[in-house]
Each structure stands twice: as C-alpha cells, then as structure tokens.
Structure 1
Amino acid sequence: MKTILETDQGGLKQIWANFKEQNPKTRIRDAARELSTTEAELVATGLGENVVLLHGDFRELLKEVGTLGHVMALTRNDHVVHERKGVYENVSFNNHVGLALGPDIDLRLFVGDWKFGFAVNENERQSLQFFNSAGEAAHKIYLTEKSDKAAYEALVEKYKSEDQGVSLVITPKAEKAPEPETAPDIDVAAFQKEWLELKDTHDFFTLLRKYKLTRKQALRNAPEGHAYRISPESMKAVFDNASETQVPIMVFVSNPNCIQIHTGPINKIFVMGPWLNIMDPEFNLHLRQDAIDEAWVVKKPSEAGLVTGIELIDKDGVMFNQFFGKRKPGIPELPEWTKLVDDSVTRL
C-alpha cells in the first residue's frame, strides 16, 4: 500500500497541474492512468484549496443528499459514463447495500468499499465524489443550477473531516484474470433446463456461480433462441430507433460499487470519435464503442414472461452496459421493445 505522503503529494500536485494545462480535455480518470496514479490521489492534491475531505459513515451522508434538491448523479466504469439528473429519494440501506428509488435517480449502492469522500469545487462546479480503496471513482453527485447550494454547504460542513491533511491509503487493485480459453465441463442440458426455469432475472447470477461459468461461457451455452451475438455497431441503430419510436428503455451502467439506471425515452443521439452519445437535458450516456468485445441479445425467463436485454461485454469478460425495455417486476416487457431489438440489431 502507499499513502499520499509516500507518493510526494506536493510533487504530484505540480505534475497534475502541468498535465491539465497541456491536456485540458483529458478526463481525470484517463489522466490518472497516464500518470500511473489514481483518480482519488489526483483529487486529493486540492485538499486545503478547492477540495474538502469528508468523514463518517457515507450511508448517513447519502440519506441527506435529497436535501440538495435537483442534482446530477454520475456513475461510470472504464467504457461508459452514465449521467442522470433528478432528486435523490427513498434512500435506504440494509447493512452496506443501499437503494435510491426515485423516478429519476435510481441506484443500487454497494458502499462496503466506499473508502474516500471529497467535496470538490472545480471552477465553481461543486460536487461530492466518492472513491473505493483502490482510488477508483465509485459515484459522484454534481450540483445543478437548480440545486440548493446552502444545503450543500451545510452537508459539507457536517461531514467535513477534522484533519484535512490526513494521508490517503490506496490499496492496489488485483490484476484482472484473463478470460479462460476453455469452459468448465458442465452438464449443458441441466444448465439450459435451469435457465428455462428461472423465475427472476436476478437469479441468473446464482446460475453462473453454480456452474462456474463466465458470462460469455454462459451465453454460448444458452438454450436455443435465448442468446445470440450481434454486431457492436448495432447499438447506434438501437439508440436511433428508440429515439424515433420513443419506446422507453432502461439503461444500466455498473462498477463494483454502484449501479445507476435510467428509465425513459431517449432523444438526441450522436457519435463523436469512438463515443456513442445520448445527450438529453436530464440524461447523458457516453459509450465507448471500441470497448465492446462482444454484444449479445439475451432472453431470460421471469414470472411475467421473457425479459429481453442487450449486454455489452469487454475483452476481460466484464459486462459493463445493459439495456432493457421499460418494465416493472411482475409486468410483461413492452412488445414495442422486443420489436425494436429485432428491427435494430444485426446478428453475427
């Protein structure tokens, strides 16, 4: 492990300042990778100036975020950024697993490894930013022009750490294991039978663990008609058709510490370089298309019938983005969504 003091935080501060001057458009996550450091450490270079270290139980802080009113929630991983505006409502926790269940801000929170929290002021753009023990961003909350800034200042003051010079202990993340070249020897018929007998889509994770399958391996062994690969370029057609038809969709983006969900129609779609973007007033998505190693249409049984999803998987076998039609548990999926998928994707 290393600490801010051991990594010469003063030196890193100057390196970061020089880098920003020379690369003003580079995102901080990418900058951290280029500088062989972590995003949390880069943020912490501003302590005592435009950054405040937060303390305490972040669960209690999150329960009070609703007092800020209209904000922007941001959750991302290496390949996709999900930004949703709205109000944090109905925030609750069962131990270290939490929910925020509002019509706009819809989150699943896994705060057991939310190690660091900061209040950040970037050129008058104020935010609360949370990082895991490896220094990676777990979740961020940005004020908007509609936010209650007095409530924000009160919240920061309440959770401000007494020691703003504390060292930041970073635990290096374990290297990702490569995707296995061969699948375990399983009873395929039994696996497919259990797939077809699913009552809840969430039970799919249990099924993978039982048979010790990666996601790609499971999809390749799916029952007939329940999973098929599609061209990654299909995502542009999916977005365009969703925009044109106004079929409401669900967009899931996850990292190990948070899942963020948008539910509703999408409108403005455009491509910029490798990024496929949704740029609506209350919802933005930035999807790096060249990170898609495999894209699949997957059908899982539920008590309300088949649930059709699109899953994007990277070269390490990590599913980093999921799409569904708007639905609620116990209610059949929209037939318009099923048709949209059929009309939009190119099978491989």
Structure 2
Amino acid sequence: MLATNPDLAARWSQLRNEKPALRIRDAAASLGVSEAALVALGTATPLDGDWRAILNEMPGVGRVMCLTRNDDCVHERHGRFEDVQVTGPHGLVLGPDIDLRLFLGQWKLGFAVSEPLKAGERLSLQFFDASGDAVHKIYATDETDRAAFDALIARHTAAEPPAFAPAPRAVDPVDRPDSEIDIDGLRAAWRKMRDTHEFFGMLGKFKVGRVQALRLVGDEFARELPARALRGAMEAAAADKTPIMIFVGSRGCIQIHTGRIAHLLDTHGWFNILDPDFNLHLREQAVARVFSVRKPTDDGVVTSIEAFDGHNRTILLMFGERKPGKPELEPWRAIVARLERQAAS
C-alpha cells in the first residue's frame, strides 16, 4: 500500500479549499508528498501493471483525452488510439491525433481514478513512476465508449493493492566542464547527421549535456534566444496558421501535437493554447533558456525551438509540421528566422 501521513487527507482537503485551481502535481509538491499518494486518497482502483495490454486495448474505447506533463508544461490531446505498437519496454502510438513515445520501464504504478464533478464524474487511467510522479494519464470524454472503458478497467483491476514506497527523484546529471568537450568533434558529427534521431546518440558519444551542446556548437546549428521567443513562436504560428509539432515529455512518455494552433490565452501565470482537440499549459516564468536549433537530415535541415528550465531540463520542443521524406515547411523556417533577427537587433 502507499504510505501516507495520518493527516494527509485533511491537509489535502484544506489546500484544495484554499487553492481550488491548483494542479495536483503542484499540490503534492506543496504538501511534500508524491502525486500518487494524493491520487490514492480518492476513489482510485489499483491496476494490475500490464501496461502493454492496457495500451493495446485502448483503441476499443473510442475518443479520449491524453495528458502528459513535466513540472512546467501540460500537454492535453483528444483523439483515438490508433496504430498502437507496444510489444516491449518501449512503445509507439502513431495515430493522427494521439501520438506517443512510451518508455514503459518507468511505469511503476497505475490507478483507475474517479473524480466527482458537479454533474457526474471524471474517469481516468493514471500511471506513475518510481517517485510517484505521473508519467501519463488517459481521461474518458463524452465521446468515449464508457462500457468498453469500464470493461477494460475491470479486466485490469489488481487482485491486491500494490506495495509501493516512492523513491527519491533522480538527481539531474551534472555537465562536464566545457574545456573537456571535443567541440570540433561535436560540430563535425552534428554536420554529418542524417536523421534527427541520431542527436541523442551524438550527445552520448561526446558526453555532453543537451543545453551544453547547444551553447557550444555555434551559430551554424544553435542560437540562444530570449525566453519570450517561445511565446513568440507560438503567436506567429497561430497568426500565420502554420502547422506545427509540440513535444512535451515526462520520464515515461513523450506526447506530440501536430497541426495548427489558434486560441492563445494568459491565465494565472500560465500561457495556454486552448483549442478544441489540443490544450497546452505553460508555466512561462519557468522558461530559463530558449534556443533555435538546426539539425541536418536526408530530407534537409530540420529546425526547432527548444525550451529549458533553470536546471537545463527540457520543457518542450517545437517544430514545423513534417513527415519523413518531406522537407520542412518554409513558413516555419521563416518564423524561426524572424525570431533570430529580432533577438539580434
């Protein structure tokens, strides 16, 4: 069972009364407990841990809302699970709406959660890592086949409540000194890239942090921009109706939106995209560094806007809409070039 303080339920209730809009991840941090511990206080049915089977069965429940977040960005996408490829510790969901990269080795605990609303309930599947942080959530919507969703939960209800004690969060890695990095080798390897997926292997080969590499590689491939450039990229894409891709990741999932964005709004310290099938909530004050990045590929240069927090953790990545075999959209390149000119002026 999850270990909880005897008074945790009372403290959680008081905090919700004081700050009803506070997100549960932030509430858990404020109370000094894991998010999983707060979820377990409610109507939460433990799941059996067969994550692969659950995900492979998701196409049968119809449209849902998927949510993946990190400390500073929440990514919510409506759609159906299609083209689910989950057979080992890694998996893919490659539908036009729900687009996920899954790292199931990080999934340690799951619940079916029922939350009371003014009219009815909100039902979800919520999955947590070894620290009790949520790695992914799947919510039923008005378009979900509730009978199929309920049957999936019944099939995967755990026979006994799980034994779970949250582990400390992993310590952020420390970059080696810049003087120890083979910068010329890094630049040469970067120039030889033929696919964006080679990027992570290159960082590992040169034992260099992501932000560190962006700082060191030079203006040919990466330029630091003001933090406000992230908002600027979204505003420009909305104004120009340029289709984009936005990647937001947890330890156990990367969730991707592809398409246009339209409705942008500031609320209570969050910068939001509020479209019918896609919502994004960005804690803008947490954005410490933003870079424009160019990676060579066989399809031409791929350009991104990449945002990081004060600990060099990735908040989100933003690209122009693209598919393998097709060049990058020129309107997206124009947006990035405009942001770079503004930063240089």
Same fold (TM over 0.5): yes
Counterpart in the other structure of 1:161: 158
Range that drifts further, 238-247 or 146-155:
238-247
2:23 aligned with 1:27: yes
2:64 aligned with 1:71: yes
Counterpart in the other structure of 2:2: 4
Counterpart in the other structure of 1:175: 171
Counterpart in the other structure of 2:76: 83
Inter-partner Cα distance in structure 2 for 1:234 and 1:188: 26
2:195 aligned with 1:197: no
Query: What is the aligned residue count?
Result: 339
Matches within 5 A, 1:31-42: 31-42=27-38
Native 8 Å contact 1:84 1:282 kept in 2? yes
The normalised TM-score by structure 2 is 0.94
Matches within 5 A, 1:1-348: 4-5=2-3, 7-8=4-5, 10-46=6-42, 50-123=43-116, 124-164=121-161, 166-177=162-173, 182-345=177-340, 346-347=342-343
SS at 2:108's partner residue? Answer: strand
SS at 2:293's partner residue? Answer: strand
Amino acid at match of 2:112: A
Inter-partner Cα distance in structure 2 for 1:235 and 1:52: 39
Inter-partner Cα distance in structure 2 for 1:198 and 1:59: 33
Native 8 Å contact 1:312 1:322 kept in 2? yes
Inter-partner Cα distance in structure 2 for 1:220 and 1:20: 42
The percentage of counterpart residues that share the same residue type is 42
Q: CA deviation at 1:173?
A: 1.6
Inter-partner Cα distance in structure 2 for 1:275 and 1:51: 28
CA displacement, residues 64-117 of structure 1 (integer Å, 9 cap, x when unaligned): 111110110000000100000000111112411000110000000001121111
Inter-partner Cα distance in structure 2 for 1:306 and 1:223: 16
Q: CA deviation at 1:225?
A: 2.2
**Compared CA separation, residues 30 and 14, structure 1 to 2 (3 A):** same
CA displacement, residues 151-181 of structure 1 (integer Å, 9 cap, x when unaligned): 11101111111224x443222223334556x
Range that drifts further, 85-94 or 136-145:
85-94
Native 8 Å contact 2:73 2:280 kept in 1? yes
Inter-partner Cα distance in structure 1 for 2:337 and 2:325: 23
Native 8 Å contact 1:73 1:140 kept in 2? yes
Amino acid at match of 2:169: K
**Compared CA separation, residues 318 and 125, structure 1 to 2 (3 A):** same
Inter-partner Cα distance in structure 1 for 2:332 and 2:173: 35
**Compared CA separation, residues 23 and 179, structure 1 to 2 (3 A):** farther
Inter-partner Cα distance in structure 2 for 1:174 and 1:190: 30
Native 8 Å contact 1:179 1:316 kept in 2? no
Give unpaired runs (5+ residues) of structure 1.
none
Native 8 Å contact 1:267 1:280 kept in 2? yes
Q: CA deviation at 1:222?
A: 1.6
Inter-partner Cα distance in structure 2 for 1:236 and 1:317: 19
Inter-partner Cα distance in structure 1 for 2:170 and 2:301: 37
Q: CA deviation at 1:22?
A: 2.6
**Following superposition, which runs of at least 4 residues in structure 1 exceed 6 angstroms of deviation?**
none
SS at 1:145's partner residue? Answer: strand
**Compared CA separation, residues 172 and 224, structure 1 to 2 (3 A):** closer
Inter-partner Cα distance in structure 2 for 1:179 and 1:34: 29
Amino acid at match of 1:67: G
Q: CA deviation at 1:266?
A: 0.4
Native 8 Å contact 1:98 1:110 kept in 2? yes
Inter-partner Cα distance in structure 2 for 1:167 and 1:14: 23
Amino acid at match of 2:258: T
SS at 1:156's partner residue? Answer: helix
Inter-partner Cα distance in structure 2 for 1:205 and 1:137: 24
Inter-partner Cα distance in structure 2 for 1:210 and 1:178: 16
